[in-house]
Amino acid sequence: MKKLLPIIAIIILLIVIKNNASSIFRTLEDENTAENLKEKLVSEQKKNRFLKEHLFYVKTNQFVEEEAREKLLMSRPGEYVVIAPSARPLNQEKIEIDTRPNWKKWRNLFF
């Protein structure tokens, strides 16, 4: 009985120490999570502010007119839309096709 009492006390103390250590680690993780959530909240608030400003700009007449002119090719009365042909390069180089067998191409590449 006298030998059993210190062993039981040690086991109880180890259980208490383990519980305290796990509680400390959980608390530290919760603090890190709270900091991460605060950083995420700040970034989301910045994004929200940007989107509100963009929404304000999109509702303006200037934006609507720019979109109508650029994407829909619309114009005001008395204006004309001119669509110019795309420019072609002046020097059109001839593409040479190599008709050598593949084994000769590999040989020239390595030797």
How does DSSP assign 43-102, residue by residue? HHHHHHHHHHHHHHHHTSHHHHHHHHHHTS----TT-----PPPP--S--PPPPP--S-H
The two three-digit tokens of residue 63, written as one number: 């934006």
CA distance 54 to 48: 10
CA distance 30 to 23: 11
The two three-digit tokens of residue 101, written as one number: 């067998």
- Residues 47 and 54: beta-carbon distance below 8 Å: no
Q: Kindly report, residue by residue over 20-64, the tens digit of the pLDDT.
A: 999 988 888 877 787 888 899 999 999 999 999 999 999 999 999
CA distance 66 to 74: 10
Q: Kindly report, residue by residue over 56-105, the tens digit of the pLDDT.
A: 999 999 999 888 888 888 888 888 877 777 776 666 677 788 899 999 99
